[in-house]
A and B are shown apart, each in its own frame.
Chain A
Amino acid sequence: MSDYKLRRSLLYVPGNMPSMLQNIPIFNCDSVIIDLEDAVPLSEKDAARHLVKRFLMNYTDRNKELLVRINPLDSRWGYEDLKVVLPAMPDGIRLPKADTPEIVERLDTLLTEFEEELEVEIGRFRVLPSLESALGVINAVGIANSSQRIFALAFGAEDYTASMEIERTRGGEELFNARMRVLWAAKAAGIQAVDTIFADVSDMEGLRAETEHAKRLGYTGKCLVNPRQIEVVHEVFAPKQHEVDYALQVIEAIQRARQLGTGVIALGGKMVDAPVVKRAARVLRTAYAHGMVDTLIDEEAIHGAQ
């Protein structure tokens, strides 16, 4: 899947708070998840979805990806959330409690129906399923492949630990297997993997450690509960200068190789071939988002002319 959109930071914003919705445009996270689910009390479910709709309709100069976390489809609010919010054109839906492929397929069908009704391209509304229970984690592989709309799998540790009847610890050892299973499913399906929230807003060192851990495992982004967390997460996901320098050398080397009619070349005594080029390209795309390089690397540089 050639979806290279950066999703380092996905910020939750409560859907029932105008003062916070109003500030969505100003934060430099990659995506926002406007929450109609857990952050919104039952008495405000209806008001919140209309508020979110109005906000989205007025937010014309969109500068980040906008997802809406709806209530679970089997709740009495899930369908109504879609009905009210989709005409305001969010980019996608974060689906809570995506425990089985069937639940995602059901959302897929509903989205298709809305797309037909709204006369927009089928597949326009993307889906980010939350794997946040033992069942969801076990079904990760099936879920990852249950819809073409899915661009990433999100791991939700808070609900997951609740479903496991365990406490979430600062070190997070209890999450390791689940994190890996979600990650394998995502990587195998060729989509991104988004790590869970870090709830303690005042503990920046804890956030940094957990994000570094997730990045080392292979996660490409993290969900956030406060804008103050964006900076740390971006710092962690930012490529190091030496990585960028090396990636630029790799691209230059492979372009030289192509001129020579080969797909393999040595750089500083190491072989450069397709996987190395691919990794370098990913580093440079992230570097571009961080303003560390001036131009986006084009596909031809990576794969060679057809």
Chain B
Amino acid sequence: MALNSLGREIPDSYAGKKLVPYRDPYSVSPEGNVATRALRRVNPGTSKRLSSLGEAIVASGLRDGMTIATHHALRNGDFLLNAIVAELAQLGLKGIWIASSSVHPVHAEIIPHIKSGVIAGFQCGVNGLIGEMASRGELSCPIVVRSHGGRARAIMEGSVKIDVAFIAAPCCDEYGNMNGYFGPSACGSLGYAQTDALFASCVVAVTDNLVPFPVVPISIPQTLVDYVVTVERLGDPAKIVSTTTRITTDPVGLQIATYASQVIEVSGLLKDGFSFQTGSGGISLAVADKVRGAMGRGGIKGSFGCGGITGYFVEMLEEGLFASLMDVQCFDQEAVRSIGRNLAHQEIGADFYANPFNGGAVVNRLDCVILGATEVDTSFNVNVNTESNGYLLHNTGGHSDTAAGAKLSIIVAPSIRGRLPIVKDRVTTVTTPGETIGVVVTERGIAVNGKHAELKEELVRRKLPVKEIGELQREICKITGTPRPLEFEDEVVAVVEYRDGSIIDAVRRVKG
């Protein structure tokens, strides 16, 4: 057991691997070369078509203890991971690791297969019931939570070796060229699958929309693909990319958004060339709406919008407020339609988006990112992984990547959530270190991290409600009271990897 620089107790090893405690966001240097895989040869006349997932699993050479991956662009509408795991069980395979880009509540279907030993653990974060059951000690499977950039890094450096990547391909030809733009399961960008396609020992394209050769445009080319399998359905179209992306009408949320947009205006970043990322939440979109207004009024032309892309950003692109969109994942159908239609709507892979160990990721070029939080602490550390009950319920996404990359990272969150104060002495789990967080905006005040002294001064001058974060906490706790701390067992149910591979926190089993 060692303490990392944030005072978190990190086990020496986990799931058979030695752990490196987190130290700081920028100093870890990579060593060695990019991971390799075997060369291959496909001669003319060879068919890549296989008739079923089961056949593909056999053909891929998957054996007990190996690692598979899927991407999560179909989000909670995904059928593929469940179908694969059911096949694994059918074939009698055991001890398989899942290294998907994310796991959603819909994948609770695989829980029986975790219990029966088909699935050994997760080289990725999980959303929903799996994490909750692990937190309660009802499931025994190691979970290594990674950010999007961190996952790309782990695959590229070889610390996570994907044996077989099953790539849901909404538009695919028989030789394996694919994109996500068209078809009944269109999901837009295939950004997360791109790293898998490059580094997995075997790549299986799975489609419900086989089109004549060649697919254009090509997101992932035939040269990376070993097999092509057709299935009835990749997912439930009603749930694919169906995040509700509407601006909040809640006055508290709007107040937060107003403050956040004022912070951006005051920061001096809002000028020609501005680059921006928000999530899909109602408050984030309200911030985007206000920034859009300010850009329109000021005649400001931004350089790019980034991240999970929403229809909102598409509108800004089409209005000329952004020159381009850098899209690792589409958040709604409007974004899906745009990526197939707008040349300046650029699909990017997770490596390009957020990997800290390459020639420089897109997040490094971000001026400003708007992020959410389940909890923030008085050192500006942010938790998005565990809920107030201590359960591991959410994946990191691009949170820590964008916070580290952007010039200004802004957390927007209501000061009180479910009767609990958002600001704590110590967050339950650190997802993103405070030193990469610029400003925390709540409806009760704006807390500015010490490293942005000039911004703070300017916000005070403009009479925005700037407060020390401890003062903000006291003010909130005057209303809510101070909650009793959660109690945990020693048993570690998951570790949270920082984007550079060091361990920023460990999630422990909840007592009782």
Contact = CB atoms under 8 A, between A and B. Distances in A.
Same complex for A and B? Answer: yes
A61 B254 CA distance: 23
Interface in A221-242: 226-228, 231
Interface in B185-232: none
A37 B415 CA distance: 30
A22 B476 CA distance: 11
A27 interface: yes
Most buried by A among B254, B258, B444: B254
B251 interface: yes
A231 B254 CA distance: 10
A228 B254 contact: yes
Interface string A22-37: 1101111000000000
A26 B254 contact: no
Contact of B443 (A26, A61, A231): A26
Nearest to B475: A61
B255 interface: yes
A22 B479 contact: yes
B62 interface: no
Contact of B252 (A23, A231, A291, A294): A23
Contacts of A226: 251
Interface string B443-480: 11000000000000000011110000000000100010
B444 A26 contact: yes
Contacts of A228: 249, 251, 254
Nearest to A60: B478
A291 B462 contact: yes
Contact of A27 (B255, B461, B475): B255
A231 B258 contact: yes
Contacts of B251: 23, 27, 226-228
A231 B286 CA distance: 13
Contact of A25 (B249, B444, B462): B444
B330 to A, nearest CB: 29
A227 B444 contact: no
Contacts of A26: 252, 255, 415, 443-444
Nearest to A20: B251
A61 B258 CA distance: 22
Interface residues of A, number: 13
B465 to A, nearest CB: 8
A68 B252 CA distance: 22
A294 B463 CA distance: 10
B416 to A, nearest CB: 8
Contacts of A27: 251, 255
A272 B464 CA distance: 34
Contacts of B475: 61
B443 A23 contact: yes
A239 to B, nearest CB: 15
Nearest to A227: B251
Interface in B395-438: 415
A226 B251 CA distance: 8
B314 to A, nearest CB: 23
A227 B255 contact: yes
Nearest to A202: B249
Contacts of A61: 475
A291 B255 contact: no
A294 B475 CA distance: 27
Contacts of A23: 251-252, 443
A115 B475 CA distance: 31
Nearest to A61: B475
Nearest to A289: B463
Contacts of B415: 26
Contacts of A25: 444
A19 B258 CA distance: 21
Contacts of A294: 461
A22 B252 CA distance: 11
A228 B443 CA distance: 13
A294 B462 CA distance: 8
A7 B512 CA distance: 54
Nearest to A58: B478
Interface string B252-279: 1011001000000000000000000000
Most buried by A among B251, B415, B475: B251
A38 to B, nearest CB: 20
Nearest to A11: B251
A276 B373 CA distance: 51
Most buried by B among A26, A61, A291: A26
A291 B443 contact: no
Interface in A57-101: 61
Interface in A283-306: 291, 294
A-B pairs with the 6 shortest C-beta distances? A227-B251, A291-B462, A26-B443, A291-B463, A26-B444, A228-B251
11 contacts: A26-B443, A26-B444, A27-B251, A28-B255, A61-B475, A227-B255, A228-B249, A228-B254, A231-B258, A291-B462, A291-B463
Interface of B: 249, 251-252, 254-255, 258, 415, 443-444, 461-464, 475, 479
